[in-house]
Amino acid sequence: MSGSNTPTTKVNTGGDETMHITEEYKECVIEEIVSAAEEESSAPPPGQLLDGYDDIDMHYVERGPHGYGIYGFGERVEDPWEYLPGGHHPVHLGDTFYNYKVINKLGSGGFGTVWLCRVLEKDPTEYVALKIIRAMNSGEDNAELLNVRRLLKLAETDPDVEKYCLLPLDRFELEGVNGVHQCFVYPVAGQAVQEIWNNVKDPEEYLRSLTRQTVEAMAMFHRHGICHGDFRPSNILLRLDGLNGAREEEVEDLLGPAETLEVIPFTNMDKNAHPPGYLVKAVEFDGHFNARFASDKICVIDFGECFEISNPPERGAIPYEYASPELALADQCGTPSDIWALATSIFEIRTGYKLFSMEALNMYSAGKRHYKSREHPTTYAYWIINKCGMLPEPFWSKWSPKWRKWELRYGVPVEEVEERSLDHAQVRLETIREGTSRKVGHLLRPLRAKRGWRASLTDEERMLFEDLVFKMTDYDVSKRLTMEEVLRHPWLSYGVGKASLVEVHTTEPVHVNVRQPYGSGNDASFEHNEVQCTTAGTLEVEDVDMAEAPATVIPDPVDGPQQNGLEAGFSKGDIHQQSVEINLPQSQESSTPAAQEPSKFGPTLELNVVREGVFAVSTWLRTTVGKAFQSMIA
């Protein structure tokens, strides 16, 4: 498999040895020469500092291609070089848009920036999240606007839409120096579930609850014929409870002072560039803030990549760490790629670790730098083969030579490279077990406990969870679990008690067509407001007037009746008795993946989905699984 028939060229090195250069190596060298030339050609022309900036230490200035730079390390900020026509709107602390006053930044991304605002003239205080979309993405046919309108329409008949989606309270257009921007006003949500820092009653049940809600959320999208398209932990937030009504000074004390990066203009600054005087770093919610305001309910955000299941886009946009092979390497979007993203998300929520973490490929060899960015297809192929094993065809033929080349560059022995590419199921199972066997990575502390909580999954839960994730990440999309099969998996009922039931029902899909013209959604909720803006106009944060203003409370979204289980895509009247097989992963000493060999515990466990749509999980399952595991390790 290693390419022993690969053509090579002999090169005399001037000594007693001859170097054999493969055609693959030649291709790699050519790629690196082209990349180096592109980097050199994109370097900004030289420019001088403007008057008044002479004391700036240029060692700490990151220069961009449009004649300005930023002073400091650009983390937790948007792309600094997108303040051109069609790009971001420049925002300063203290700016007001309509009746929303900016007091801090909540986040940023490729499509816009999100700001924590206080609603003026409201008493008691009220806070909202203002999302300002880039001008180039703010047309009347932009996907986020269309999808939000359709979700609002669906929420009129399905309470789960409001329960699991962060829906806007208001919308307006903002005309600025870089164009016209769509602006959405949302309830303020808290930290993302990728790294949870909180005080909770029962850490294990808390994480299982968040994970179940995440599954329920995707089930809701699929039930209505929608793929989210960018489903990952950073787009799943904790709802806040009690923020409205808190004094502005109290909120500022809990969040800490806003962190900024000064924008440094040069003499050759592009006349079309309109950056702000400083960039604001997104806030980081710490344990004190979360203990005060964070709830145990999730909400999904960022609907710009949603699409109708029957009408997928030509390209996907999810980061590679959450992308399935068919999506990352062939742009094949659909429910299977959503299921893969769900698997990586619930793994990260439950364990606190990324399932398939990926870093840029970067090394020096023979005095030359070899580099591929984290979002380069070669980087994805390298890491997914290392973590999941041999890719299916036609991907293997195309990407295995590049993978081998990087493995050999990193000094991996040839025989180990060959061995790693043989059994893809076993490699993937080992990757899953590596994460589930570690202590949970979230920073959680039980209530009234003096110390933090760090524990691994129990043996019983670990077996079930590994089986679920393993089946949700099958290379073969025809074998990958469907949403209905995920909801019927026994892990979803683990730990909820024998009285807990999983209600299963279906409605006919309501297809969301993101290509429909604007105006087909909930017009009553989206009045077109004329925006009134005032700008603080200062480069220094401490000079901005942060005087408090009165405000009122928006009631928290009504969650509706709480259910003890998960909703799937079946109606009660259509349910027939059926069974679900559970192939439990074997012990870590075993060399055969659970999905490929019957359990050595004896007969396969079966759980019945009984009449009336009730998925009963009784105590005999937990007892049987526990005894089976004990017999396995004995």
Q: Binding site for ATP: which residues?
A: 131
Kindly state the greatest CA–CA separation across the chain: 85
Cα–Cα distances in angstroms (integers) from residue 575 to residues 482, 490, 525, 630, in the given order: 17, 18, 37, 35
Interatomic CA distance for residues 281 and 293, integer angstroms? 21
> Could you tell me if 456 and 438 are in contact, meaning their C-beta atoms sit under 8 angstroms apart?
yes
Which H helix or E strand runs over 37? helix 23-41
Q: For the stretch 14-40, what's the b/e string if a residue is b when 16 or more beta carbons lie within 10 angstroms of its beta carbon? A: eeeeeeeebebbeebeeeeeeeeeeee
Whose CA is closest to 260, among 94, 72, 87? Answer: 72
Report the SS3 class of residue 242: coil
What is the DSSP secondary structure assignment for residue 259, as one 8-state letter? P
User: Pseudo-torsion of CA 501, 235, 166, 252, nearest 10°?
Assistant: 120
> Could you tell me if 379 and 329 are in contact, meaning their C-beta atoms sit under 8 angstroms apart?
no
End-to-end alpha carbon distance in the chain = 39
Return the amino acid letter for 168: P
The two three-digit tokens of residue 140, written as one number: 């009347």
Interatomic CA distance for residues 294 and 348, integer angstroms? 19
Q: How many CB atoms lie within 10 A of CB 259?
A: 19
> Could you tell me if 263 and 279 are in contact, meaning their C-beta atoms sit under 8 angstroms apart?
yes
> Could you tell me if 484 and 499 are in contact, meaning their C-beta atoms sit under 8 angstroms apart?
no
Query: Which residue, chain included where needed, has tokens 């002999």?
Result: 10
Return the amino acid letter for 23: E
Whose CA is closest to 502, among 607, 626, 360, 421? Answer: 607
Q: Provide the total of helices (H) and of strands (E) in the chain, helices listed first.
A: 15, 28
Instruction: Label the pairing between strands 361-365 and 368-372.
Output: antiparallel
Report residue 387: phi and psi, to 5°: -100, -20
Whose CA is closest to 465, among 569, 597, 346? Answer: 346
Interatomic CA distance for residues 475 and 471, integer angstroms? 9
> Could you tell me if 96 and 528 are in contact, meaning their C-beta atoms sit under 8 angstroms apart?
no
Query: Which residue, chain included where needed, has tokens 């305001």?
Result: 293
